[in-house]
Amino acid sequence: QVQLVQSGAEVKKPASSVKVSCKASGGTVNNFGISWVRQAPGQGLEWMGGIIPLLGTANYAQRFQGRVTMTTDESTNTAYMELSSLRSEDTAIYYCALDLSAENIYFDYWGQGTLVTVSS
């Protein structure tokens, strides 16, 4: 049973960056696919992108291209998502989601979510 524990809530200024972590236990993060999904207040789910560490590939949704970077650190079994040039519309809960098949298809396990608030 894989568990994903994310870092705590963040408050950021517009134009700054945020880096959210997602620590895995019960499995090696590099053996799976890791995606990041966000949910704005009262809204639905939005896939931001995903990485497949075994293949060294990342696939980002077009609207986040150039602003998002997803990585993993095998030594700490942690995945990271960094989003830059923050604006108020980026206020959302950010979830990491793990795909056991390592293809970033559907998501078997989810972190608890990290609230990122962007406000001046």
Partner 1 sequence: DIQMTQSPSTLSASVGDRVTITCRASQSISRWLAWYQQKPGKAPNLLIYKASSLVSGVPSRFSGSGSGTEFTLTISSLQPDDYGTYYCQQYNGYPRTFGQGTKVEI
Q: ∠ at Cα 15 (13, 18), nearest 5°? A: 70
Please tell me what DSSP assigns to residue 103.
S
**DSSP letter (8 states) at residue 81:** E
Q: Of the listed pieces 14-22, 24-32, 82-90, 108-116, which binds partner 1 according to CB under 8 A?
A: 108-116
List the one residue from 52, 68, 107, 118 that touches partner 1 (CB under 8 A): 107
Closest C-alpha to 9, from 113, 120, 119: 113
Residue number with CB closer to partner 1 (19 or 106): 106
Phi/psi of residue 64, each to 5°? Answer: -110, -5
Residue 111 as a binder of partner 1 (CB under 8 A): the answer is: yes
| Site mask for partner 1 (CB under 8 A), range 9-48, x = bound | --------------------------x-x------xxxx-
Nearer to partner 1, 15 or 40 (CB): 40
Cα–Cα distance, 111 to 92 (Å, whole number): 14
Q: Does 69 bind partner 1 (CB under 8 A)?
A: no
- Closest approach of partner 1 to the CB of residue 4, in Å: 9
Strand duo 18-25 + 78-83: pairing: antiparallel
Binding site for partner 1 (CB under 8 A): 35, 37, 44-47, 49-50, 59, 61-62, 95, 97, 104-108, 110-113
